[in-house]
Structure formats: C-alpha cells, structure tokens
Structure 1
Amino acid sequence: MNNFINARFLKATPILIKGSLTIFIAVGTFSAWQTTRNLWRNFTGMFNYQVTSPTIKDPHILIQQIQGVSELTTTVFVMDAIAPISSQRKLGEWVIGETSLLYIARGEVKAGLDLSKITSEDVSINQDTITIELPAPEILDSKIDVTKSQVYDYDRGFLNLGPDNAPQLQSEAQKQTLNKIKQTACDENILEQANERAIVVISQLMETSGYKNVVVKTSSLETCP
C-alpha cells in the first residue's frame, strides 16, 4: 500500500514542480514587468518638466536693467539735402570776387528715449502687472555722413577772384544742411514715431521678463529743435 502511494506521489511530483515553476515564472514575469513599468515612468517623468515664467521680484533690479540699456534708439531719419553757399571778396563796398560751393549731404537723425532717466517712481509692480512711465522722447543724435556726402561744385568766379576758402564753406554748408535735415525730421513727427515704437519695444521687453500685463505710459513730447 505504501509503495502504491509513493509511486503515485512520485508521479505527481513532476506535475507539482511544473505547476510551481509556472507560478514562479508568472510571478517573476509580473514583478519584472512592474519594475520595468516603474522605471519607464521615472525615466519619462524626467522629461515632463514645466518651465515657469521668469520674474524679477526686486523692482530695483528691474530698473537697473532698464537703465543699463541707456539710450534706446527707436527711429532713424535719413535724408539727402543740397546746400548752396557762397562768400565774397570786397574792396570797400565793391565786390571784386565771389566764391560759391554746392554741397550735397546725407544726414541722419536718431530719436528715442534716454532710459537712464527712469527712476523707481516711474515703475510700479502689482503681482503679474507692471506699469512703467517712460521719459519723453528726444533727438539722441544727428550727424552728416561724410562718407556719403560730397562737394558737387566749387567756383571762385571770374579770374578766380573769389576767396579760396573751400574748407570754411564746406563746414558751413554741413552745418546748415544738418539744421535743415533736423527740422525736416521734426516736421515729419520723428518724436511721435519714436514714442510709439518705444511703447512696443518696452512692452515686449517686459513680457519676456515674465509679466503678463504690461502698462506703458508716455510723457509729453519735448519741443523738437
């Protein structure tokens, strides 16, 4: 009897071992799958990051950054002008000779804001809203581009009796031409254009600093020279 039981047990032993092995493999496979899944979640989670908007908490730092830009040129006016100029040589009341010079000049006028004038009183911050009052726009620079300007004609008159003073005439012609170009730029509302473009530039600058709402106020225009 015992031999019969032992024989049946021995026959069942491979089945038990096979079933246990199958369960073990299943449990191991599930554990490995769970571990791999967790590792994959952790790995992919490394790339699911969020980028927060940069903010400047200290308004004094913000003001220093704005002032660091210093002069903000927002409008450039370029114009060609012709300046005729002359001088005479006299003997008493008699004109014995006249020199004329014709100068063609390329002038450039730059307008914008002097951001170094902004103070803490001009900037207010309320959570994600910033309000900035800009200084008045002004002419930042004006010059004659001598590389694109030239003396078109120089004439000392009959028998060259006119004074030989080309450098002085050219200098005076440049001065008069520059004044004319600056006045033309003013007549074309260069300061108003500079003001409008400054609002756009400063608004974009503040938006990149993390402020959702940007309010830019302008000052009254200065008298254009």
Structure 2
Amino acid sequence: MAIVEKIQGLSDLTTAIFTMETVVPAAQARQIGQITVAETKLLYIARGQVRAGINLSQLTPDAVKVSDRALEIRLPPPQIQDHKIDVAKSRIYDYDRGFLNLGPDVGPQLQVLAQAKTLKTLVDAACTQGILEEANIRAQFAVTQLLSAAGHSTVEVTVTPPASNACRVSPSE
C-alpha cells in the first residue's frame, strides 16, 4: 500500500521534548576493613533532554484504511526516542575528598555514575510529566494536518496508548 510506505519512510516523528536541569550527588568511601576513613563526594549539575514520538516505520498496512477521499490511520504507540545529557551545559558543582583529602581520588568515576543517575532521573521525570501522552496528542495532530494537506478531505487518526514499559531505561544506556 503506497500510503503506508510513504508514511513509514518518515521513520521517527518526534512530537514532544522534555528538558530538565537537576543536581545529582555521587559518593565513594575509602575503607580500611569495615571502617570508613574518608569519603569522596561529588555534586553534578546536569542538563538533559528526553525526546518522545512515534516510530512510523512500525505502521502496518492493516492500520490504514482508504476509501474514496477518506483516510483512517491507527498510529503505533509513542515511545522514548532519545535521552541525553547536554555535557556543554552540565558541570561538576562540588568535588570534596573529605578531611585532609583522604577520600579516594575518583572524580571521573563519580561523574560517570552521576550521569547514569541523571539519565534515569530525566526519563522518570519526563514520564511523570506525561511526555508520552503529549507525544500522542501532537502526533495525532501532525499526521492529521499532513494528510489533510496532501489532499484527503476526511482524515481520522487514532492513537495507541503507550506500552507499559515505555518509560524504562536499560542500565546500558
């Protein structure tokens, strides 16, 4: 079906972007046996972004119905398309190795740990604020406008609710 192939060719349709700045702590202790002798602490101020939208390549032929000048489309569910930290706008706010600098010198490792925590925090916050629902609403509007402009007199676009696991971030990301 030509309409499905044309829409699939658009691939990812980003319809919602969430940007946030957060302060993330990270720490590591220096121990001798079971006794902590010093602790290194890092405060990381991170700015990040989450993009959500519809993967139009998942559109199937049975999701599109064409009759005369009318067109009905059922969109695939919205998903998190990307989440990232803007390293140019993020920074280490505080790095403290404790009394007499006895804490382990693990700044780079703590920064990586803080960045991983930041990514999870970003996605969680975006999902709590309804990024997937917003992506669905905007995708419905955008696809309706696009197809109406292409000459279809009647366009009906229905959305699919987000998958229950759409907001999970895998540890490797």
Residue of structure 2 in register with 1:208 after alignment = 149
Matched, 1:106 2:47: yes
**Structure 1 vs Structure 2: percent identity of aligned residues?**
46
Matched, 1:142 2:87: no
Greater Rg by CA: 1
Larger relative CO (CA 8 A, sep 6+): 1 or 2? Answer: 2
SS at match of 2:150: coil
State the shift of 1:96 in Å. 1.2
Matched, 1:181 2:141: no
SS at match of 1:69: coil
- The partner residue of 2:21 within 59, 70, 80 is 80
Kindly indicate which of the two structures has a greater share of residues assigned to helix.
Answer: 1
SS at match of 1:64: helix
- TM normalised by structure 1 equals 0.72
Partner amino acid, structure 2, of 1:77: F
Matched, 1:220 2:147: no
Q: Aligned equivalents of 1:203 and 1:70: distance in 2?
A: 16
Task: Give CA deviations for 1:45-92 in whole Å, capped at 9, x if unaligned.
Answer: xxxxxxxxxxxxxxx222111111100000000000000111000000
Partner amino acid, structure 2, of 1:140: Q
Kindly indicate which of the two structures has a greater share of residues assigned to strand.
Answer: 2
How many residue pairs end up in the alignment? 166
- TM normalised by structure 2 equals 0.94
Task: Give CA deviations for 1:22-44 in whole Å, capped at 9, x if unaligned.
Answer: xxxxxxxxxxxxxxxxxxxxxxx
Residue of structure 1 in register with 2:4 after alignment = 63
Q: Aligned equivalents of 1:139 and 1:221: distance in 2?
A: 10
Residue of structure 1 in register with 2:92 after alignment = 151
* CA RMSD, Structure 1 to Structure 2 (Å): 0.8
Residue of structure 2 in register with 1:17 after alignment = none
SS at match of 1:135: coil
State the shift of 1:185 in Å. 0.7
Q: 5+ unaligned residues in a row in structure 2: which ranges? A: 169-173
**What pairs with 1:21-100 in structure 2 (closer than 5 Å)?**
60-100=1-41
Q: 5+ unaligned residues in a row in structure 1: which ranges? A: 1-59
Of 126-135 and 175-184, more deviation after overlay is shown by 175-184
